[in-house]
Each structure stands twice: as structure tokens, then as C-alpha cells.
Amino acid sequence: MGDIMRPMGFDQLINWSLSEYKQENSVFGVKKEKFYKNRSGRRMTTVLGDKLASAVGPAAGPATQLAQNIVAAYLGGARFLELKTVQIMDGEEIRNAVPKPCITAEDECYNCEWSTELTVEEAYEEYVKAWLAIHVLAPEFGVSDADDFAFNMSVGYDLAGIKTEKIDSFIEGLKDASDRPVFKEGIKFLEDNLDLFEQISADDVAAISPNICNAATLSTLHGCPPDEIEAISKYLLTEKHVSVFVKCNPTMLGYDYAREALDKLGYDYVAFPDTHFKGDLQYDDAVEMFGRLLPLAKEKGLAFGAKLTNTFPCDTDNNQLPAESMYMSGRSLMALTVSLATKLSEAFDGKLPISYSGGADAFNINDILKTGIAPVTMATTLLKPGGYARFNQIAQKTEYMLKDNSSGEVDLEALRDLRDKSYQILTNQKRYREKVASRKTDSKLELFDCYKAPCKDGGCPINQQIPEYLKLVADGEYDEAMRVIAIDNACPTITGVLCAQPCRDKCTRLDYDTAIHMRDVKLKAADESQNPYVKNITASDLRTDKKIAVIGAGPGGVAAAVYLRRNGLEVDVFEKRAKSHGIVRYAIPTFRISEEQIDRDYDIAVAEGVNFHFNCDPDFDLVELRKDYDYVVVAVGAWAEGRSPVKEGRDKVHDALDVLLKAKEGGALDMGKRVAVVGAGDVAMDCARLAKNTAGVEHVDIVYRRTEAYMPASQDEYDGALAEGVGVLELVAPVSYDGKTLRCEKMELGDYDASGRKSVNGTAEYIDLEYDFVIGATGASVSPALFEKFGLALDERKRPKLSEVFESSETNVYVVGDCRRGPSTVVAAMGDSRTVAKEILRREGLANDFERVEVAMEQDDINKRRGVLMHSRERDSEGERCLKCDQFCEICKEVCPNRANVAISVPGYENLHQILHMDGMCNECGNCGTFCPHAGLPYKDKFTLYWTKEDFEDSTNVGFLKLDDDKYLVRDANTQVFESGIRDDRDDRMLDGFVAMISAVEADYPWLLTYDA
């Protein structure tokens, strides 16, 4: 596809808005329930003289590039709309200069875009159309019957460009649009089509002011000299008679300050040179300049201030975007922005008006406004799931704070407090996102029916029905929640306590606030209802005479046994130890999980009819087993000693598993006073906490060769260790240990490697650390002895060669869990067992009972949760944060700033809506691809509607273009292009899905088809 946006005409903009509202109770994807209405009547009077019904709005950027973006933002709750920057370079020239995709907002946001990709004239027309549209749509939809918003122009980048006729016309046209064709034509359309409206009269149309805005935010390129910035500001103030806010760069803080600040917050991986810090506007120069411009503005009866801040220049060092450099925004910028605001405000004793943009969202907006800084604009939060609807929560939260702010004065004490707090606020720190990178899974993005809850489909190895049990627990239906959990999970309590929660890595809530604590909710259900659930289990009748032997009663072995026995097969489990659940029972410390909790899950297996044989001779013979059993499942775990973390003194380093086993057996461990744990996984955290609670131990350190950001331990376990006083030594790699001194090489992070982590390199500089006891927690290993005895084909790592269903080279002999892959998790082992159980049942011609349960939520209730940031709750109500992605996804629709992904109702499909991609509204920014839970990219992979032949031919997307003769030009998945009707004149190549989509558009969404430039 091409990246050319096709601005729609004013009549199309209005018709689309009214038609969608009537049909869908939404406008450009923003639901009616998310329309913000200021009910208190309070207003904020800004230093610019605007009277705003909310103190927030979109920053100049993707959210204000097209008219529909601005309308959507307004309806959500934005009332200060900073229009996307215009400059002398525009249109095709700027599009050719901006590589695509140009945005990635996975966590902190990076972009490589500049000013508007439209021509300056097109941009001007978009802003006028949005101005007119808001004036009639707001009263029509009951949002507001008065002017309660303001536009703010953004111009750049140098004086010569701003003085050109192109930019001058833009500025003058926003000051007074009365003689401009786009304004006059828009007014005439409204006058001629009053019958389209129920709340708009001719007087209302006549009252629309042509004076769109009289204030500008000045944006300059990095490296712009101070005298140029001052000259532009003076020109705008004295010759153009517009108020000016100069957009300042965070580089004004200085390289050392910025580097230290980002490192402190956990963004130490963000790479940036000192180039911009030296070339950009310096603090002293800014103070002197602003000191001259403030009285000049006052003399002219205008306002002057600072817009804080611009984006932060970075190097592209991990292929984030197809550009050499990029610009960072979002939560990583908040502390820097507030710090610069404090520094400048102190220089002017709080008398410098400041407009804010730097990581603002629903969590911190009140603290920002308390300082007197206003208005507040934002970009990154709008690019995340919820999109423009996020404004609703923000506007509602801050409505009580609206007041006369016309002085522009800042509360220095409040600002200093916020600056200090900004480095402590968890939501500003990298670890708030819990080390999670992309939420995307490896599933294909289908053309149709693509809704997906990535927590269960792509995150959880057992496809646990997570949204379902979350809702049931939140509703207090614990018995049903327990039943749903047990369908897929043979260890509900154990996973409720210990699960590594890969589901949380895919939770959509990550892109709002924090992932839902599924494990805690599951444990709540188990605590409430697992015992009665077990009492009600009746062992299934045997459905065949086939028998299964499971070797090993760890979680994987027990799960395989439960799944198979409850489906009618006889199962015997052989375990060399005295009890079930392996490492969970024998190694995991009691401060993590109790015997009673483990026994609860063992009771499920017994109730299902599984036969356990404990204290068995581990010297199994496959030939003998085959005499009595038709299938053998090997689940013996990974119990062998792991690789030593040191090259010298290996015999003096204690293996983590050995330490945990001895501690669990009750043996007294003499660790001395100082303990080091080498490694950074969950086992390392267990060892560290165990050591910390061992008699005589005074100090415990985690020793890790990388940094915390790359630790494999889950955030919960890491935080738990820190909370107990465990120290962390980063970028040190042990080399030797003599029983007292642990010699380590200092490491440094290098370039990113294939895994997406930064490589780590030795520096040849060594430090000696004194420890009485060193634990090696770098992973256990798998003994190949049993596999060799069974005669299984092994790979170079001495692990069995297996099929996709984990069958070994010996027919009907399967291998699951840690002995298949090495040390892993309980839920991963159960996932293996589930796969094997389904395969054995398939071979026996037996249906399995892994039923899918529907626990539906009212659509309105789902909509209410969209766009709303929420902190974690108690486990009985934590499920109320669930967004029910299985029932309703549409993230690509929410995150598109241009509204280019449209949800339409199409009969005959499973999903509530289908996604239709609007080619003419897309500029290939790539944002929808970042947040789609599938591997695909909606802007390339979804069924596409084209508005022009040129766009159709410039694309490879599967989709259609309406022709003049009631036919359509169609491209299919094989890139075949053909003409076809959708009725009797249908081409044989026209798939049913294509016909259904096009028919729905034609019948119910005709406004999508018509392009009126």
C-alpha cells in the first residue's frame, strides 16, 4: 500500500460523523459513552485567553494531522488542540524524507517523523474543517453548546521558512478564515444542509467564528541557534500579532543530567550522543532570551511562554525504526520535563507561563496541573490501546481543577515536589512494565475474525481460559471459576501461587498500566472452591482397555495423568520419591508455597482416579513397561547439577538446587555471614530470599553479568527479593572463588544481539568480593541416563529427538516437561502434557474434554473499561480490570491516530465486528502493527477499502475499489486483480468473505465508500 493520506471533504466528514453516530453510537471509533461533557460548568482560563472545558489535549503530532483525528480527540475530552506542525517542506517532499514505519510506542515511544505529511494548504484545510465540524457536532451530540475549546497552531522551523508566502498564508488563515474558500464552502454546506441536524440552526452556523487561533507554538530543529529562535518569536509577536510559546528541548538540562536521570529510571539502554546537547538551545541563553520576550509580549498585549518539552533525540541502535536517529516521548520523559520546568520556573520566580507535554497521562495529570502548569498536551498515551477515549478519564479526573489560570503563574513549591517525586513514581520507571517487550504473539493475523485474548492464546501454554475465570471471580462465582480453571489446569493452587505467568507478558493491560495479576485471581478461586470441587469429582469410567504409564510425579507427570484419566484411560504414575509434585514440593521454599497447598492439587489427581506408585525403583525398563502399558510418558524433570558459574573453584560453589533441597529437608545450612547468589532467574531469587532468612546471614547479593532489565526473573520475584533486603550487583561476571573471595570481571553492555538483548562484553578489569558462601543459580541440567537406557534417539545436547507432539523415536513413548526442554515452569510442563494427552486421545479415537466456555460480558460494560487506566486491585476484584479481548479486541482501531481501521458488523462471522482498513486514511505509521496481538500488521494484512485507482495500484493489500458501474476492482490473496459484482455478476474468484464484507459496507456503511476530496 502507499502512505498517501486522502483528506476527506467537509461534506464527507460531516456525513460520516452523523451516519456513524446514528448507526453505531460512535464517531470515528469513539463510543458515545466516551464523549466527554463538562457537567460542572467550570472552565480553565489560560494565559492565551481561552476558556477551556478541559485542561488537556493532543500535542502537535499524529493526533492532530487530519480533521477526523481532531474531531475524535475533541469528543473524547480534548479541549486544547495543538495542530500538527507545518513548515516549508511539505507534501510529497516530506513523505519522501520520512521513512516508514515512523512510530513505535511499545513502551516509551519513538518516532522519526517531522511535520505534517500533507501540503501546508491541505493541512490548513484540515484544521478549518475540524474547527467547523466541532462547532456543529458538539451541540448536535449533546457534548457542549458553547465554545469550550481552542486550537493552537504549531509552526517551524526557521525564520526564512515562516516568512514564506506558504506559511504566512497559513498563519493569517488561522487568524481569520473568513475569506478562505474552505471556510466559506463549509459554512455554505452547513447552511444548505440544516436538515441533517436536530440541534443546529442557521443562527448557530452564523455564529461560528472565523478566528480559529491567535497563538502559536514555535517548533525549531535541533541545533537552531538562540538568535534565530528569538528572531522568529519577535516576528510572530510583533508582525504577526500572535502569542508565542517556544517549544524547548529536554537537552537544555545537559547531557550528564539527562544520562544520569534516564539511568536512574531504568532507561540506561537508551543511546544518545552529546551532539544535540551542545548544539541545541542552552539554558542560560534561553533564560536571557525569555527574559527579553516576556515583556515584549506583554507590551503587545500578547502572551509568551515555554512549551515543555519537545521529544528527546536518540540513536536508533536496535532497529526500532528505519532511521539513523529517532525521538523519544512518553513516560520516560516525564521526570526530565518536570525537571526542566522546575529549572526554568525558578529562574523566573514562577512567572514564566508553561504549556506541558512530556509523559502526561491519567495517573499523573492531577499532579501536573496542581503546579499551575497548563494546558497539558499528550501524544504517546493516545497511541496506545484506548486511543482518543483516554481523554475522557483524564478530562473527568481534572474537571474540578479548572480555574482562572490567566496569569500563567507556576506554584514553585508544588513543582519542586513533583520534580523530586517524579524520580520515585513507579509509573515513570522502566520496571513498571515488568521487563516485558512486545506483547505480540506468533499467530497469523487473519483477514477476518481476528479477535484474540493473547493472555490465553499465545501467552499461556495450556490455553487457560483466563478472561473467563477473571470475570467469574470478579462476579463472586467461585465454584464456576474453579470448574473453568480445572478444565485446562491440573495444578490450580500451585499455579495460583508459583506460576511464572507468561499470560501477563501478553496482557493488553500492559499497554494501559500493569498486567492483570491472573495468578492471584486463580488462587482466590482455588482458596474459595477447590476443596469442594475435589469432593464433587467422580472418577470417569474407563472408555478403553489401553493403559498409560507416567514416569515422574512432578507437575508435568501429574498433569498428563489427570488429563488422560478423566478422559477414560487408566493411568499409573511411578515416582521414586515419597510424594508428588517434584521440585515444587521438594525444593521450592515454604515461604513460597505450603505443603497443604501442594496437597490440594494432588487431591485432584487422586479424585480423578489416577493410580500413584511412590518410592519406586527409578531403574525403569522400557521393554518391561511395554508389556503392561500401551503408552509411556516420561516426565522425570531436570534434577542434575547445573553449569558452574566460575572457572576456578567450582567445588567451592554450592549448586542452587542442592541448597534448596537441603533446606526443604530441614537440614541446617551454615552459610556464614555474607552470601552471593550467581544468577538472576526465579530460582536465584528463591535462593537469595532463603539465604536472607537463614540464621547467621547478614548480607546477601545477587551477582549478575547483565543489568536488571535483562534478568529472566519475573518482576514479582525480583521485587520480593529486594523487599527483603537482598542486594544486587550488576555487570559483574564471576571468574573464580576460593572459599572466601569471589573474583569477578566487570562487564559492559554492547550492541543488541539476535535475542533483542544487549550483548555483554568483558572489560578485563576485575574486582574481588568477600563471601562466605556462594550459590550457583544458573540453571539445573537434564540427566540423559534414562533416555539412553530406553534407547531414545538424542540430539547433540543429549536430549530426546521429538515430534511436534513430543513423541520420541520409540512409538508411543512421549517426553514432557523439564526433561524435554531443560528447567522451565510448571505451566510449561502442563502445556506439554496437554499436547500429549490430546494426541493419545486422538489416536484412541476418543474425544477430549478441554471444552471452551463462554463467559460473556455486556458490550457496554466492556466499552466502559476501554481507555481507562486502573491500578491493580485486590484479587477478588482484579478481574474487573480485564478488557475481555476474547470477546472484543479492535485494538488496531483504537490506536490508529488517523482512524484508518474501522470496525463494521458483518453477518455470518464469529466476531462481533470485522476490521476494514481504509487505505486513504493511512500513512503507514505502523502503530497498529505494534499493538496487534498477532504477528501481522493490520495496515498491511486486513481487508482494505480503496478510494482511488492510484492507491489501489500502489498497494499489495487484499481489498477492493468501487467502480462506477456497481462493480468492484478486487485484489485477492494471490495478488490476482479482477472486476466483479457482488450479486449475479459475481466473478468465480470472488470469495464469500469478500462478498460479505463488501455487501455490509454497501448496505450499512455507505459513507465509507464515497470519497469526496
Average pLDDT over residues 674-700: 96
The cell numbers describing 514, all together, are 500493569
Half-sphere exposure of 299 (CA within 13 A, CB side): 8
**Given a cut of 80, is residue 1013 above it in pLDDT?**
no
Q: What are phi and psi of 21, to 5 degrees?
A: -60, -45
What pLDDT digit, counting tens, does each position of 535-572 carry? 999 999 999 999 999 999 999 999 999 999 999 999 99
Q: Amino acid letter at 67?
A: A
How far is 642 from 781, CA to CA, in rounded Å?
A: 5
Same fold, 547-636+782-843 and 650-776: yes
Q: How confident is the model at residue 668 (pLDDT cuts 50, 70, 90)?
A: confident
How far is 757 from 460, CA to CA, in rounded Å?
A: 23
Average pLDDT over residues 493-506: 97
Given a contact cutoff of 8 angstroms between Cβ atoms, the answer to whether 886 and 453 are in contact is yes
How far from the centroid of its chain's Cα atoms is residue 709's Cα? 17
Which of these, 81, 71, 76, lies nearest to 46 by C-alpha position?
A: 81
pTM of the predicted model, to two decimals? Answer: 0.95
What pLDDT digit, counting tens, does each position of 347-361 carry? 999 999 999 999 999
User: Given this model, what pLDDT does residue 724 score?
Assistant: 96
DSSP-assigned states of every residue in 494-530: HHHHH---GGGGG-GGGGTSS---HHHHHHHHHHHHH
What pLDDT digit, counting tens, does each position of 260-312 carry? 999 999 999 899 999 989 999 999 999 999 999 999 999 999 999 999 999 99
**Given a cut of 80, is residue 755 above it in pLDDT?**
no
Cell 525398563 found at: 621
**For the chain, how many residues are written?**
1013
Given a contact cutoff of 8 angstroms between Cβ atoms, the answer to whether 836 and 806 are in contact is yes
DSSP-assigned states of every residue in 539-569: PPPP-SS-EEEEE--SHHHHHHHHHHHTTT-
What pLDDT digit, counting tens, does each position of 763-783 carry? 999 999 999 999 999 989 999
Instruction: Report the share of the chain in percent with pLDDT over 90.
Output: 94
Q: How confident is the model at residue 146 (pLDDT cuts 50, 70, 90)?
A: confident
Q: Average pLDDT of the chain?
A: 96
How far is 312 from 272, CA to CA, in rounded Å?
A: 9
User: Given this model, what pLDDT does residue 2 score?
Assistant: 74
User: Given this model, what pLDDT does residue 965 score?
Assistant: 85
What pLDDT digit, counting tens, does each position of 67-102 carry? 999 999 999 999 999 999 999 999 999 999 999 999
**Given a cut of 80, is residue 828 above it in pLDDT?**
yes
What pLDDT digit, counting tens, does each position of 354-395 carry? 999 999 999 999 999 999 999 999 999 999 999 999 999 999
Q: What are phi and psi of 1001, to 5 degrees?
A: -65, -45
The cell numbers describing 624, all together, are 518391561
Which of these, 841, 816, 814, 850, lies nearest to 830 by C-alpha position?
A: 816
Supply the Cα-derived Rg of the chain in whole angstroms. Answer: 32
969 or 3: which leads in pLDDT: 969
**Which CATH code is given to the segment(s) 547-636+782-843?**
3.50.50.60
The cell numbers describing 362, all together, are 491519567
Instruction: Report the share of the chain in percent with pLDDT over 70.
Output: 100
User: Given this model, what pLDDT does residue 666 score?
Assistant: 86
CATH entry 3.20.20.70 includes domain 43-433: yes
134-143, 216-225, 762-771: least confident range: 216-225
DSSP, res 431: G
Q: Amino acid letter at 494?
A: I
How far is 634 from 652, CA to CA, in rounded Å?
A: 33
- Name the residue ranges covered by the structural domains of the chain: 43-433, 455-536+858-881, 547-636+782-843, 650-776, 891-1008
Given a contact cutoff of 8 angstroms between Cβ atoms, the answer to whether 325 and 222 are in contact is no
Average pLDDT over residues 882-889: 96
How far is 929 from 925, CA to CA, in rounded Å?
A: 9
**Which CATH code is given to the segment(s) 650-776?**
3.50.50.60
444-448, 554-558, 569-573, 987-991: least confident range: 987-991
H helices within 399-434, ranges in order?
A: 412-422
How far from the centroid of its chain's Cα atoms is residue 205's Cα? 42
The cell numbers describing 831, all together, are 502445556
Q: What are phi and psi of 868, to 5 degrees?
A: -115, 120
Given a contact cutoff of 8 angstroms between Cβ atoms, the answer to whether 333 and 309 are in contact is yes
Q: How confident is the model at residue 949 (pLDDT cuts 50, 70, 90)?
A: very high
How far is 525 from 556, CA to CA, in rounded Å?
A: 22
User: Given this model, what pLDDT does residue 900 score?
Assistant: 99
519-533, 750-764, 940-954: least confident range: 750-764
H helices within 629-769, ranges in order?
A: 656-665, 682-692, 715-723
How far is 233 from 288, CA to CA, in rounded Å?
A: 14
User: Given this model, what pLDDT does residue 510 score?
Assistant: 96
Q: Amino acid letter at 939?
A: Y
Strand partners, 314: 326
User: Given this model, what pLDDT does residue 318 score?
Assistant: 87
User: Given this model, what pLDDT does residue 1010 score?
Assistant: 85
Given a contact cutoff of 8 angstroms between Cβ atoms, the answer to whether 772 and 672 are in contact is yes
User: Given this model, what pLDDT does residue 993 score?
Assistant: 95
How far is 672 from 187, CA to CA, in rounded Å?
A: 84
How far is 73 from 60, CA to CA, in rounded Å?
A: 12
Contacts of 410 (CB under 8 A, 6+ apart): 341, 345, 350, 351, 352, 354, 371, 372, 373
Strand partners, 728: 702
